[in-house]
Amino acid sequence: MPTMLEIDGNGNEHEANQWIRFGLRLGVTTALHPFDYAKVLMQIGFEPIDPRPGRTLLGKPTLILPNVFQYAAYIKRVDGFAGCFRGLSAKIIGNIFSAHYSEKIADELGLEEVHDTDVKRKTNDEQVDNTQLDEQFKKQLKRNLVVHTAGVVISQPFHVISIRMMAQFVGREKLYSGVWQSIREIWSEEGIFGFFAGFVPRLLCDLGCLIVSSSVTYLASRYIIKEHEGRVYFSSISQFVASSMFYPYHVVSTCMIVNGSRLKAGSLPNMEPYRDWRDCYAKLRKAGEHKRGSSLFFRYASQPASVVFNRAIAPYPELKK
């Protein structure tokens, strides 16, 4: 039986490891932000670079849109290197608040966390049975549901600010130049509800991915995969598949965040007005644009050449001198 010193040491070590992993995630988020910036502009339908004739992987003639690297390079040509990180400050603040307080809320509710070391030790034990596996799954799923829900609620205002900062690239506005200025803009124009634009589809996307990936991984662990390493790999695959399934809600959330603002990116002719997120989802799905930005490398125009080249999606920004 472990002593109190051992328990405290393990707890401190686990907390330290959590902060190290969080710091690494922030570093990766910062490094990849230019590509996330490009993806946001793809999701709202802004295509400043004309597509070029090409062929699909199956050899079918089509129009090829710029990939994420070409898109990020275009942003750099327009706004310079520093401009590629617009919206990063609000994103980082939201991530810090979300990571800290969502875990605190789960702890206050008495939802115990199942550590990876505990799972590995138990799954390698020959005496582990399905009852223990069921209990671990229920316990971890309950905690994750609370953590993810709280995380989305806490980070949503900063997520809205970050998205609108990036969407300013379309119309070259300066309404969201900083976090505090953005807060004043949203509060004065839309009130408290403006900070939660696009909240419902984002929450559905997050919780949907969590429930589907966790449930599929649990079923595979219960009936098929017995090794801990195999379960870890399968969990990563299931998360990727689930995120692809619910990706359209991510696009809808981004569009609704911009659609409710004074930005040119969220109004005609760049974006048609939507009554609510359901209307946005229905219209995007009907037009075949509900997965915009899902492919970062092989991107094809969904409309004929005559339509794409003649459609004025947005004015071309002037290059930075």
Q: What is the pLDDT of residue 59?
A: 77
Q: Under a CB-based contact definition with an 8 Å cutoff, are residues 43 and 265 in contact?
A: no
- The DSSP code for 318 is P
Structure confidence by residue, pLDDT tens digits, 106-127: 988 888 777 655 555 554 444 4
Q: What is the pLDDT of residue 304?
A: 45
* pLDDT over 50 (residue 7): no
Backbone angles phi, psi at 83, to 5 degrees: -65, -20
Structure confidence by residue, pLDDT tens digits, 126-146: 445 678 878 888 899 999 999
- With vertex at residue 242, the alpha carbon angle to CA 128 and CA 93, rounded to the nearest 5 degrees, is 100
Average model confidence (pLDDT) for the chain?
Answer: 84
Please state, in angstroms and rounded to a whole number, the distance separating the CA atoms of residues 278 and 248. Answer: 11
Higher pLDDT, 224 or 311: 224
How does strand 299-300 pair with strand 61-65? antiparallel
Q: Is 198 left (phi over 0), alpha (psi -120 to 50) or beta?
A: left
* pLDDT over 70 (residue 2): no
- Check whether the bond before 269 is cis (ω within 30° of 0): yes
Q: What is the pLDDT of residue 23?
A: 80
* pLDDT over 60 (residue 89): yes
User: Which pLDDT band, with edges at 50, 70 and 90, does 307 fall under?
Assistant: very low
- The DSSP code for 299 is E
Mean pLDDT of 260-272: 92
Place of tokens 């946001």: 40
Q: What is the pLDDT of residue 4?
A: 42
What CA dihedral angle connects 139, 142, 147 and 150, to 10 degrees? -160
Mean pLDDT of 263-281: 94
Give one DSSP letter per residue of 41-72, joined into a string.
Answer: HHHTT---S--EEEE-TTS-EEEEEP-HHHHH
b (16+ CB within 10 A) / e for 223-247: eebeeeeebeebbeebbeebbeebb
Highest-pLDDT range among 8-17, 49-58, 280-289: 280-289
Please state, in angstroms and rounded to a whole number, the distance separating the CA atoms of residues 151 and 147. Answer: 6
Please state, in angstroms and rounded to a whole number, the distance separating the CA atoms of residues 224 and 201. Answer: 33
Q: Could you tell me which residues come within 8 angstroms of residue 155 by beta carbon, excluding any fewer than 6 positions away?
A: 94, 95, 97, 98
Mean pLDDT of 204-226: 90
Q: Worst-scoring range by mean pLDDT, 267-271, 277-281, 285-289, 297-301?
A: 297-301
Sign of the dihedral through C-alpha 290, 293, 297, 303: positive
Q: Under a CB-based contact definition with an 8 Å cutoff, are residues 41 and 167 in contact?
A: yes
Structure confidence by residue, pLDDT tens digits, 15-74: 667 778 778 888 899 999 999 999 999 999 999 988 888 887 777 888 889 999 999 999
Q: What is the pLDDT of residue 159?
A: 97
Q: What percent of the chain has pLDDT over 90?
A: 58
Q: What is the pLDDT of residue 301?
A: 80
User: Which pLDDT band, with edges at 50, 70 and 90, does 291 fall under?
Assistant: very high
